[in-house]
C-alpha cells in the first residue's frame, strides 16, 4: 500500500450495507493486513450487488463520502473497502457481480480498493471461525457438519445460525463480537480451515495491497 505523504496520516475507509457489517470489517481488515493504517467507517447504506445497472453513481457517492471522511480525519485516503451481500449462493452470478463492482471501484477510486462480496451474506464468513461463537455466548456451538460445508452454497446463513447455533438465538448485532473474538483467538487468516471462496477472494484482494 502506498504511504501517505510524509507527515500526514493514512486511513482506510470502510463502507457496508449495515453498521454490523462495517464493524465486522473493522475487526477483520487489520487481522488480514497487520500493517494496515487506521480503519474508519462511513455510514452510507448503499446496496451495490443488486444494482449493477446503476452502479457508477452509487460508487461515485461512496468515493465522495470516503474522501470527506479522510479529510475529516486529516488523513490521506489510501484504501477503500466496501461490503455487499450477494444474497445468492455462489454460482456464475457471483463472478459476474464481483467483476462488475471491482472494475467500477478501480475506475472510480483514487486509491486501492477491495470488495467484501459475501456469498450469501456476512454470516457465512463468520462460520469460518467456529471457536469464536462460544466466546460470545456460552450456549453456542457450531455443528461439525456445518464446519465441513461449502459455506457459499448455504442458502440462508443467518437463519441457519438462528436455528442450529444454540440459545440465545443468534442476532445480526452479534456479528461484530464474533469477528472480534475470532481475531483475539488468532484464527483469522487468508486461508482459514473452512470453505468459503468469497472470503478467500476478499483476503487475496486485500493481500495485494501489501505489494504496493
- Summarised one tens digit per residue, pLDDT across range 61-98 is 999 999 999 999 999 999 999 999 888 877 778 898 99
SS (H, E, C) the chain: CCCCCCCCEEEEEEECCCHHHHHHHHHHHHHHCCCCCEEEECCCCCCCCCCHHHHHHHHHHHHHHHHHHHHHCCEEEEEEEEEEECCCCCCHHHHHHHHHHHHHHHHHCCCEEEEEEECCCCHHHHCCCHHHHHHHCCCCCCCHHHHCCEHHHCCCHHHHHHHHCCCCCCCHHHHHHHHHHHHHCCCCCCCCCCECHHHHHHHHHHHHHHHC
Confidence at 4, pLDDT banded by 50, 70, 90: low
Which residues make beta-bridge pairs with 114? 81
Contact assessment for residue 119 and residue 198, using Cβ atoms and an 8 Å cutoff? yes
Rounded distance between C-alpha atoms, residue 14 and residue 86, angstroms: 17
Please write the tens of the pLDDT for every residue from 127-150: 999 999 999 999 999 999 999 899
pLDDT digits (tens, 9 = 90+) for 14-55: 999 899 999 999 999 999 998 889 999 998 777 776 656 688
Centroid of chain to Cα 91:
19
Joined grid coordinates for residue 9: 496520516
Taking the C-alpha atoms of residue 57 and residue 212, their distance in angstroms, rounded to an integer, is 27
End-to-end CA, the chain: 4
Residue keyed to cell 441457519:
160
Whether the predicted pLDDT of 1 surpasses 60: no
Q: What is the pLDDT of residues 143-197, one digit of tens each?
A: 999 998 999 999 999 999 999 999 999 999 999 999 999 999 999 999 999 999 9
Average pLDDT score, the chain: 91
Angle (CA) 208 29 97, round 5°: 65
Amino acid at each position: 500500500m502506498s504511504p501517505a505523504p510524509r507527515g500526514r496520516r493514512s486511513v482506510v475507509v470502510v463502507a457496508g450495507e449495515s453498521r454490523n457489517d462495517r464493524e465486522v470489517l473493522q475487526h477483520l481488515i487489520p487481522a488480514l493486513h497487520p500493517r494496515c493504517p487506521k480503519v474508519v467507517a462511513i455510514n452510507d447504506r448503499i446496496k451495490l450487488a443488486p444494482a449493477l445497472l446503476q452502479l457508477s453513481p452509487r460508487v461515485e457517492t461512496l468515493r465522495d463520502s470516503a474522501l470527506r471522511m479522510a479529510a475529516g480525519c486529516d488523513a490521506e485516503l489510501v484504501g477503500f473497502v466496501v461490503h455487499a451481500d450477494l444474497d445468492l449462493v455462489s454460482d456464475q452470478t457471483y463472478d459476474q457481480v464481483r467483476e462488475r463492482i471491482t472494475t467500477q471501484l478501480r475506475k472510480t477510486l483514487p486509491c486501492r480498493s477491495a470488495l467484501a462480496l459475501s456469498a450469501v451474506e456476512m454470516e457465512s464468513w463468520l462460520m469460518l471461525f467456529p471457536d469464536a461463537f462460544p466466546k460470545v455466548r456460552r450456549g453456542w456451538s457450531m455443528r461439525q457438519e456445518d464446519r465441513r460445508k461449502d459455506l457459499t452454497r448455504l442458502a440462508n446463513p443467518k437463519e441457519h445460525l438462528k436455528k442450529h447455533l444454540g440459545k440465545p438465538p443468534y442476532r445480526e448485532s452479534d456479528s461484530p463480537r464474533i469477528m472480534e473474538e475470532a481475531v483475539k483467538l488468532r484464527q483469522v487468516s487468508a486461508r482459514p480451515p473452512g470453505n468459503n471462496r468469497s472470503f478467500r477472494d476478499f483476503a487475496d484482494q486485500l493481500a495485494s495491497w501489501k505489494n504496493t
